[in-house]
Amino acid sequence: MENTSNDPELLRSTILKTIDARTTHRGEMVLPCIPAALEYYVQKAGDFFRELGKPLSLPELDELRSLLEKSLNDGFRSSGNNHLVLSYETSATPFLAKNLACSVALKPTPEAGKYEHWRQTREDGTLFGTHPDARVVSLVESLVDPCDAPILDIGAGNGRNAIPLAQRRHPVDAIEMTPRFVEQLQGAAKGGSLPLRVMEGDFFAPATLLPEHYYQMIVLAEVVSDFRGWDQLRQLLVRANQCLRAGGLLVFNVFLSDANYEPDDLVRQMAEVAWACLFTPAELHQSMVGLPLQIIADDSVVLFEKQHLPPQAWPPTPWFESWASGRSIFPLSYGRPPVEMRWIVMRKQAEY
Report pLDDT digits (tens) over 167-196. Answer: 999 999 999 998 989 999 999 998 989 999
**Dihedral of the CA atoms 121, 122, 127, 131 (nearest 10)?**
170
User: Which CA distances in Å does 341 have to 112, 133, 253, 276, 347?
Assistant: 23, 14, 6, 8, 20
Class of domain 111-348: alpha beta
Q: How far apart are CA 282 and CA 256, in angstroms?
A: 10
15 or 120: which leads in pLDDT: 15
Q: How far apart are the first and last CA of the chain?
A: 102
Q: What is the mean pLDDT of the chain?
A: 90
Q: Does residue 124 register a pLDDT over 60?
A: no
Q: What CA–CA distance (Å, rounded) separates 302 from 314?
A: 10
DSSP per-residue string spanning 265-285:
HHHHHHHHHTT--EE-HHHHH
- Which helix (H) or strand (E) segment holds residue 20: the answer is helix 8-22
Q: Using a pLDDT cut of 90, give the percent of the chain over it.
A: 72
Is residue 293 predicted with pLDDT exceeding 90? yes
Task: Give yes or no for a contact between 312 and 215, defined as CB atoms under 8 angstroms apart.
Answer: no
Q: What single string gives the DSSP state of each residue in 216-273?
A: EEEEESS-GGG--SHHHHHHHHHHHHHHEEEEEEEEEEEEEE-TT----HHHHHHHHH
Ranges 4-18, 77-91, 139-153, 239-253: which has the least confidence = 4-18
Is this model's pTM higher than 0.75 or not?
Answer: yes
Under a CB-based contact definition with an 8 Å cutoff, are residues 327 and 321 in contact?
Answer: no
Question: What's the pLDDT at 126?
Answer: 63
> Which of 49-63, 88-102, 215-229 has the weakest average pLDDT?
88-102
Nearest-10 crossing angle of helices 111-121, 179-191? 60
Domain with CATH 3.40.50.150 in the chain: 111-348
- Residue 331: is the preceding peptide bond cis (ω within 30°)? no
- Model confidence pLDDT, tens digit, residues 35-69: 999 999 999 999 999 988 889 999 999 999 999 99
CA distance 243 to 212: 4
Contact indicator for 223, 154 with CB cutoff of 8 Å: yes
DSSP H helical segments within 23-145, as ranges? Answer: 38-51, 58-78, 111-121, 134-140
Q: What is the pLDDT of residue 9?
A: 85
User: Does the structure show a pLDDT above 50 at 337?
Assistant: yes
Q: Is-contact 314 305, C-beta < 8 A?
A: yes
- The pLDDT of residue 95 is 58
Q: Which of 189-193, 254-258, 288-292 has the lowest mean pLDDT?
A: 189-193
Of 85-94, 265-274, 301-310, give the lowest mean pLDDT range.
85-94
Indicate if the pLDDT at residue 1 is higher than 70. Answer: no
Residue 118 has a pLDDT of: 52
pLDDT of residue 352: 47
Q: What is the mean pLDDT of residues 149-173?
A: 96
- As a whole number of angstroms, the distance between CA 323 and CA 328 comes to 5
Confidence band of 123 (pLDDT split at 50, 70, 90): very low
The C-alpha angle 49, 51, 56, rounded to 5 degrees, equals 40
**Distance in angstroms (rounded) separating the CA atoms of residues 14 and 282:** 64
